[in-house]
Structure 1
Amino acid sequence: MDIAVLTIKIALPGCRSLKEKRQRMGGLHERFGRHPSIAVCESGDRDRHEASEWSFVVAAASSREVASLCSDIEDKLQRTVDGRVMEATREYL
């Protein structure tokens, strides 16, 4: 079994409240947390309006599957979040 931690930092320009931040992030936890190979949480910048950091723990039978799931997460975030992905880091365990 291979495991990776994908951490993504997102800038939310013009965001003025935590309520707006939740709306703009669009339910990441519900969307990705349903997948049996992915655990997700907001891991940083919880009290900042203009930024958000999310961590995804991805586990699969092979490193190829893990890399594919991480890429899928990054692609979906780019398309669905009303913000800019500033940084994405992967740490393989």
Structure 2
Amino acid sequence: MLGSKDQADERPDADLRDRLHAMEAKVRKLREVRNNFSSEARSAAEQRNAIQAQYKEHREKVDLVLAEVKAIRTEVRMFKEKRNAIQDQIKSVIGQAKGRRG
């Protein structure tokens, strides 16, 4: 009888020990999953940062080209104004010449 009582006392401890080991294993697994997610998040953040840096570089190039285009358009506008002024002078001179003939 004494033997069976000792076994009964040991068994609850064994059950607790088994549950403890199972919980520890579960905690280890959860930590691994967390670490994997952290690693993936870090990789995604690095990739995002690289893409943002590349975007910034391209944006700067585009801004430079746009500034260049704007300067060229301004120059074209000035040449058109000069051309129009010269054409107006030519029309005026032709008009004066026709007036003298007529």
Q: Under TM normalisation by the shorter chain, which class is it? A: under 0.3
- Normalised by the length of structure 1, the TM-score is 0.23
- Normalised by the length of structure 2, the TM-score is 0.21
The structure in which a higher percent of residues are helix is: 2
The one of the two structures with greater contact order (alpha-carbon pairs below 8 A, sep at least 6) is: 1
The structure in which a higher percent of residues are strand is: 1
Which structure has the greater CA radius of gyration?
A: 2
